[in-house]
Amino acid sequence: MAYGLARRELRPRVPLRPGEGDKHGLTSLQGLAALSLDALSSVAYGPEAIVLALVVAGTGALTATLPITLAITFLLAALVVSYGQVIAVHPDGGGAYAVAKTDLGGTASLLAAASLVVDYVLTVAVSLAAGADALASAFPALGRDKLLVCLIGLALLTAVNLRGIAESARVLMLPTLLFIVSILGVILLGLLRSHPVALVGTDRPVHATEALGALVVLKAFSSGCSALTGVEAIANAVPTFRPPSVRRAQRTELMLGALLGVMLIGLAVLIHRDHVAPRDGVTVLAQLTAGAYGTGWPYYVTNLLVTLVLALAANTSFGGLPVLMSLLARDHRLPHLFGLRAERPVYRYGVVALALLAALLLVATDADTHRLLPLFAIGVFIGFTLSQAGLVRHWATQRPPGWKRRALINGTGAVLTTLAGVILLLTKFLGGAWVVVLAVPLLMLLFARIQRYYTAVGRELGLGRTPDPPPRHLGSLVIVPIGEVSKLARHALGAALALGDEVVAVAVHADPARVRALEEAWERWNPGVRLDIVNSPHRSLVQPVVDYVQRAAEGGRQVAVLIPEVEPVHRRYEILQNQRGLLLATVLRARTDVVVCLLPYRLKL
């Protein structure tokens, strides 16, 4: 479910050479391979979610799988048509946040941003959990440690993304194509074989606790809607296509819709015909795989492929959320640090934030896919609805030829996704959707508060207005804290003499004998700088210097404190040095308004 920012994330993160972007743009087929990952991988958990929701009404209720899947496919078709128009109107992509910001204004864009954040995090959690299920279907021993498997996978993804991979859309093509071939193979061979599926996993006794009423059907429908996540990815990535990019992207969207529809219906037919019920230790998809390929090596390969594709789907969030967070930071809606890139072209704070939130979710739900799914689709449907609604508004204001027909298409999409979203919310509220219902407004509130704070700071700093000329100080005084007479002191005094009109060294000593020794050594050295001794009856080294500095800062002069730091060659020695200087610097910065200067002195060891 690469939602909202696929365009950026699929661009290689190392900068392109000029012109490289266009020349190497994606063809329709390449685009399908690169951008359909999220949507297609949801066949690993979508159909299973329907089966699980229906089985509470007994195995007989599983016959409803097919009609429900058909309804979901209908919704899929509406979305595909509707997104064809999104592609045409927003050829530079940008995702729900950008679209909402242009077409719907402030609050809607906050809503889009909040639901996107929730969704990116859930994509990681759901994909990893479903991936662990698929892996456990092949290797049952791993079934007991699913949470651990998920957390190890998460740690790997985080490490890779912190390093900053030069990720390319082409890398994704091979696994995606193999995945498509395997799943279509499962459907075809499954349909050809007339006997029931080969039994894998262990039987799970089914007790019907409810009748097959409207509520169960609606619950199954809303559970199955998790299969629709990810169909917006192509619309967000239009600029990555080779020109004519709009036409190619629309064609790719159609192909994605057709493929996903075929897969969903095909799997539902197999479930229907073979009465596939949930079994312990294997996924529904793994049961169908075993039914088609048997339990030999193709079974293992397919399960591993499903795991890989789900892991790659999780990885797309690591491309998307940090970029979204950097955009929010640029709009002053998140701390600016999320817009920082230091050594590597990676938004490391965003990556870490995503990893922590996903880990939290996985731990809270014990990496159970079906406890995560109720949270999942809500945010996606908010995005769907906002995109469609934005387009309706666009048509109504621009009024190009045929705008009414277009508005009708997008309006239908918006109404259907709203309806599906409301069903989702109502049927899943107690099952976990309340978390999202709580999280989204809280995030919106957070964004709004941060924005308000930054605006107030900007006002206080007089941004946009011409300030007075810089103040003139009555000269400068540089204070150098000194421990002993050494080359370090010499180095520091040299720098201080270059910077200050007046320089004074200050030493703190509680022990009179050491004070005398220092004063004698200072006289012998005679560096041309006065040495002041401050008394520290309580053996604290920091507070006496701070007091001294505060007194010195009372005049009209600019006061600076210059703290020399010993820098060892090896990082492992750093804990042995400078702690006193850094502590002094921290306290001075907190308590005084003087300039705090740090000067490195590099050791040879």
How far is it, in rounded angstroms, from Cα 43 to Cα 57?
23
Residue 531, CA distances (Å) to 279, 480, 525, 540 in order: 81, 9, 12, 19
- Shortest distance (Å) from residue 492 CB to a second copy: 8
Number of H helices, E strands in the chain: 23, 5
The SS3 of residue 580 is helix
| Interface with a second copy, residue 443, by CB under 8 A | no
- The region of 173-181, 342-350, 361-369, 403-411 touching a second copy under the rule CB under 8 A is 342-350
**Residue 490 has which token pair?**
């010499």
- The region of 104-112, 164-172, 273-281, 526-534 touching a second copy under the rule CB under 8 A is 526-534
- DSSP class of residue 62 equals G
- DSSP class of residue 243 equals S
Specify the residue, 214 or 576, whose C-beta has the smaller distance to a second copy.
576
Q: How many CB atoms lie within 10 A of CB 418?
A: 16
201-222 burial: b if 16+ Cβ within 10 Å, else e:
beeeebeeeeebeeebbbbbbb
- The region of 149-157, 243-251, 267-275, 589-597 touching a second copy under the rule CB under 8 A is 589-597
Q: Which of 323, 380, 542, 553 binds a second copy (CB under 8 A)?
A: 542
Q: Which of 178, 246, 497, 504 binds a second copy (CB under 8 A)?
A: 497
Residue closest to 133 by CA, chosen among 303, 361, 248, 258: 303
- The region of 48-56, 72-80, 364-372, 597-605 touching a second copy under the rule CB under 8 A is 597-605
Q: Which of 360, 363, 540, 555 binds a second copy (CB under 8 A)?
A: 540
| Interface with a second copy, residue 463, by CB under 8 A | yes
CA atoms in the 13 A half-sphere facing the CB of 416: 22
How far is it, in rounded angstroms, from Cα 31 to Cα 29?
5
How far is it, in rounded angstroms, from Cα 211 to Cα 218?
13
| Interface with a second copy, residue 192, by CB under 8 A | no
Specify the residue, 210 or 484, whose C-beta has the smaller distance to a second copy.
484
Interactions with a second copy, residue window 97-116 (CB under 8 A): none
Specify the residue, 225 or 588, whose C-beta has the smaller distance to a second copy.
588
Specify the residue, 139 or 573, whose C-beta has the smaller distance to a second copy.
573
- Shortest distance (Å) from residue 116 CB to a second copy: 21
Specify the residue, 207 or 572, whose C-beta has the smaller distance to a second copy.
572
- Shortest distance (Å) from residue 525 CB to a second copy: 5
| Interface with a second copy, residue 469, by CB under 8 A | yes
Residue closest to 341 by CA, chosen among 161, 463, 167: 161
| Interface with a second copy, residue 490, by CB under 8 A | yes
Specify the residue, 122 or 529, whose C-beta has the smaller distance to a second copy.
529
Residue closest to 2 by CA, chosen among 279, 225, 232, 171: 232
Q: Which of 20, 22, 484, 532 binds a second copy (CB under 8 A)?
A: 484
Q: Which of 134, 450, 506, 507 binds a second copy (CB under 8 A)?
A: 450
| Interface with a second copy, residue 460, by CB under 8 A | yes
Cis peptide before 244 (omega within 30 of 0): yes
> Tokens 């996924």 — which residue?
283
How far is it, in rounded angstroms, from Cα 380 to Cα 222?
12
- Shortest distance (Å) from residue 603 CB to a second copy: 6
| Interface with a second copy, residue 468, by CB under 8 A | yes
| Interface with a second copy, residue 521, by CB under 8 A | yes
- Shortest distance (Å) from residue 505 CB to a second copy: 10
Specify the residue, 412 or 476, whose C-beta has the smaller distance to a second copy.
476
Q: Which of 231, 373, 420, 562 binds a second copy (CB under 8 A)?
A: 562
Specify the residue, 368 or 502, whose C-beta has the smaller distance to a second copy.
502
- DSSP class of residue 486 equals S
| Interface with a second copy, residue 401, by CB under 8 A | no
Residue 563, CA distances (Å) to 332, 458, 471, 532, 574 in order: 34, 32, 25, 16, 16
| Interface with a second copy, residue 524, by CB under 8 A | yes
Question: 108, 391 in Cβ contact below 8 A?
Answer: no
What lies within 8 Å, CB to CB, of 533 at 6+ separation is 506, 507, 508, 509, 515, 518, 519
Q: Which of 489, 518, 549, 552 binds a second copy (CB under 8 A)?
A: 489
- The region of 121-129, 167-175, 368-376, 522-530 touching a second copy under the rule CB under 8 A is 522-530
Q: How many CB atoms lie within 10 A of CB 533?
A: 18
Q: Which of 206, 486, 519, 550 binds a second copy (CB under 8 A)?
A: 486
- Shortest distance (Å) from residue 443 CB to a second copy: 16
- Shortest distance (Å) from residue 472 CB to a second copy: 7
| Interface with a second copy, residue 581, by CB under 8 A | no
Residue 57, CA distances (Å) to 52, 72, 220, 427 in order: 10, 20, 11, 16
- Shortest distance (Å) from residue 256 CB to a second copy: 32
Interactions with a second copy, residue window 343-362 (CB under 8 A): 343, 345
> Tokens 């090596």 — which residue?
297
| Interface with a second copy, residue 534, by CB under 8 A | no
| Interface with a second copy, residue 412, by CB under 8 A | no
- Binding characters for a second copy, 7-26, by CB under 8 A (x = yes): --------x-----------
Number of residues that bind a second copy (CB under 8 A): 88
Concatenated DSSP letters for 426-448?
HHHIIIIIHHHHHHHHHHHHHHH
